[in-house]
């Protein structure tokens, strides 16, 4: 029998895989006392099914480091079955060609079904991911809001009439792409599921989606509502599994016409290159190292709370986290003092404690990565103002961490840590802070804190970022597009811009006798 140390090593390196006759649903009792049936199979043709090889992998609770359950692991042959089901659903009359209003109605029903069960859904998210229950509830509400919002676009996806003179009748129309492959991350499992599935479905496409191997539970759970919402078989298919197998198979499949991916920039580049071989349409929402700028005229108390939200929300596992703070020199010392006090007041611990703000990191691997960067920062000569160590002896917890006295060429300033670690730099002029803010390969988001709205708009115009928050941070809305510049990705999530990712334009020009 493996020792506990050996077991943890294998879990960290590959998540132990078994051949199993696992039931397609298993009972789970959540830490808050709620009980539910967790689907464990692949979701294909509106049914949960075992994988072809009957291979499974374990899902770990990041709070306790113990196994939650096993789920079936998809392989290449499972992806092929799912893609064929999606292709059949798209080619028939049941989805892409029906009245668009019916698609919107089905998506709205799906939102309502999730809403009726939202406390269980949020609890699954906390259990699987480690995030604080209040953060999980916020995620689920965003999911519901976005599904309802996207449903409203269904019968409003129009082309245009083009005046080309009296000899021709010319117009355009938007058409769906076909089977869309979607690969989602582990930091916001259900929210990313919604951001991918909703625009694909409302535009008439069909989906084959891979969940993150460390957090598959919430997506599998809500998928059971899909047939009850009126979505036909084959329209949405979920294949749990590992990126190098399932992700590769989805990206390379000849019947997949578009790939959407959220995750690291390195993996995004690989997917982009692989998809290019068959000229698939690609959208990528990738990494970030976002600047959060505080001017001397800002309301410092509010700015501190926005910085806290920007870096410690969701345990810092946020692609757009405000991980680089730039503070005007005249208020730097006071700001650092207030931020240190606020960070040390952040409650870290059990995600199901209603007062917890920062839950667990999602995996041992992520915990190790964060602590490695803490050591790198110390080695580079940065001052550790607070935190920088593991919290508790069980679970993947890290104390909120602040580094000062940093230089712009330090790795902790340049590289994405993806955890509750922030660096603070002082600046004197607007030009100086703009140069530092833009000195990054990324360009996902930025924050500006000032009471001078003219200055805020001028700085927002000059910062190279897909989203700029002014006197707020991590402030998402279902109608506001989200996506990055540069190495932070291609395309946009949410808003009307997301619809563009899942449609193609056909021009029709008819000669008039």
Q: Which residues are catalytic?
A: 285
**Number of Cβ within a 10 Å radius of residue 239:** 28
Task: Specify whether the CB–CB gap between 396 and 360 falls below 8 A.
Answer: yes
Burial of 163 (0-12, 13-18, 19+ CB in 10 A): exposed
CA distance 402 to 360: 18
Rounded distance, CA 205 to CA 199, Å? 9
Q: How many CA atoms lie within 13 A of 10 on its CB side?
A: 12
Tokens representing residue 170 in the block: 């010319």
Residues 6+ apart with CB under 8 A from 180: 200, 205, 206, 207, 208, 256, 257, 258, 259, 260, 502
What long-range pairs does 451-455 form, CB within 8 A, spacing at least 24? 451/297, 451/298, 451/299, 452/295, 452/297, 455/295, 455/430
3-state secondary structure 431-463: HHHHHHHHCCCCCCEEEEECCCHHHHHHHHHHC
Tokens 């809001």: give the residue: 145
Strands 401-404 and 383-386 come out as antiparallel
Q: How many other β-carbons are positioned within 10 Å of the β-carbon of residue 500? A: 18
Token pair in block for residue 20: 């199993």
C-alpha closest to that of 502 among 179, 116, 20, 261: 179
- Nearest 5°: the CA angle 279, 269, 143 is 90
Got the DSSP string for 367-384?
Answer: HHHHHHHHHHHHHHT-EE
- Through-space distance between the first and last CA atoms of the chain, rounded to whole angstroms: 84
For residue 316, give the nearest of 489, 188, 183, 447 by alpha carbon.
Answer: 188
* Tokens matching residue 439: 């000195």
Contacts of 495 (CB under 8 A, 6+ apart): 478, 479, 480, 481, 482
């Amino acid at each position: 029998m493996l020792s506990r140390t050996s077991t943890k090593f294998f879990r960290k390196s590959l998540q132990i895989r078994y051949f199993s006759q696992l039931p397609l649903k298993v009972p789970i009792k959540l830490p808050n006392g709620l009980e539910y049936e967790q689907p464990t199979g692949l979701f294909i043709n509106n049914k949960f099914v075992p994988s072809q090889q009957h291979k499974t992998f374990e899902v770990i609770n990041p709070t306790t480091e113990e196994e939650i359950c096993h789920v079936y692991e998809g392989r290449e042959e499972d992806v092929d079955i799912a893609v064929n089901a999606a292709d059949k659903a798209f080619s028939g009359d049941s989805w892409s060609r029906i009245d668009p209003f019916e698609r919107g109605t089905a998506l709205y029903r799906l939102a309502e079904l999730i809403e009726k069960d939202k406390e269980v859904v949020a609890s699954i998210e906390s259990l699987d991911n480690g995030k604080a229950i209040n953060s999980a509830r916020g995620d689920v509400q965003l999911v519901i809001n976005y599904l309802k919002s996207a449903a409203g676009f269904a019968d409003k996806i129009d082309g245009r009439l083009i005046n080309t003179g009296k000899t021709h009748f010319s117009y355009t129309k938007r058409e769906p792409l076909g089977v869309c492959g979607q690969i989602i991350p582990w930091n916001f499992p259900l929210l990313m599921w919604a951001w991918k599935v909703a625009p694909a479905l409302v535009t008439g496409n069909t989906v084959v989606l891979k969940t993150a191997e460390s957090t598959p539970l919430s997506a599998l759970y809500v998928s059971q509502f899909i047939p009850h919402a009126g979505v036909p078989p084959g329209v949405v298919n979920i294949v749990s599994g590992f990126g190098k197998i399932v992700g590769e198979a989805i990206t390379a499949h000849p019947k997949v016409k578009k790939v959407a991916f959220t995750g690291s920039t390195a993996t995004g580049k690989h997917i982009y290159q692989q998809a290019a071989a068959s000229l698939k349409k690609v959208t990528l929402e990738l990494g970030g190292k976002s600047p959060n700028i505080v001017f001397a005229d800002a309301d410092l108390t509010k700015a501190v709370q926005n910085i806290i939200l920007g870096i410690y929300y969701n345990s810092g596992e946020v692609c757009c986290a405000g991980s680089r703070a730039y503070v005007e020199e005249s208020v730097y010392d006071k700001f650092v003092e207030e931020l240190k006090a606020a960070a040390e007041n952040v409650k870290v611990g059990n995600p199901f404690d209603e007062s917890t703000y920062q839950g667990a990191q999602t995996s041992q691997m992520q915990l190790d990565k964060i602590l490695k960067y803490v050591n790198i920062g110390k080695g580079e000569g940065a001052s550790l103002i607070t935190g920088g160590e593991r919290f508790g002896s069980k679970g993947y917890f890290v104390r909120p961490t602040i580094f000062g006295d940093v230089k712009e060429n330090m790795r902790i300033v340049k590289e994405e840590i993806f955890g509750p670690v922030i660096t603070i730099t002082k600046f004197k002029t607007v030009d100086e802070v703009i140069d530092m803010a833009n000195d990054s390969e990324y360009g996902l988001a930025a924050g500006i804190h000032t009471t001078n709205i003219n200055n805020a708009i001028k700085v927002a115009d000059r910062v190279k970022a897909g989203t700029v928050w002014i006197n707020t941070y991590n402030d998402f809305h279902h109608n506001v597009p989200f996506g990055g510049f540069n190495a932070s990705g291609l395309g946009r999530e949410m808003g009307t811009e997301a619809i563009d990712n899942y449609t193609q334009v056909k021009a029709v020009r008819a000669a008039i006798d």
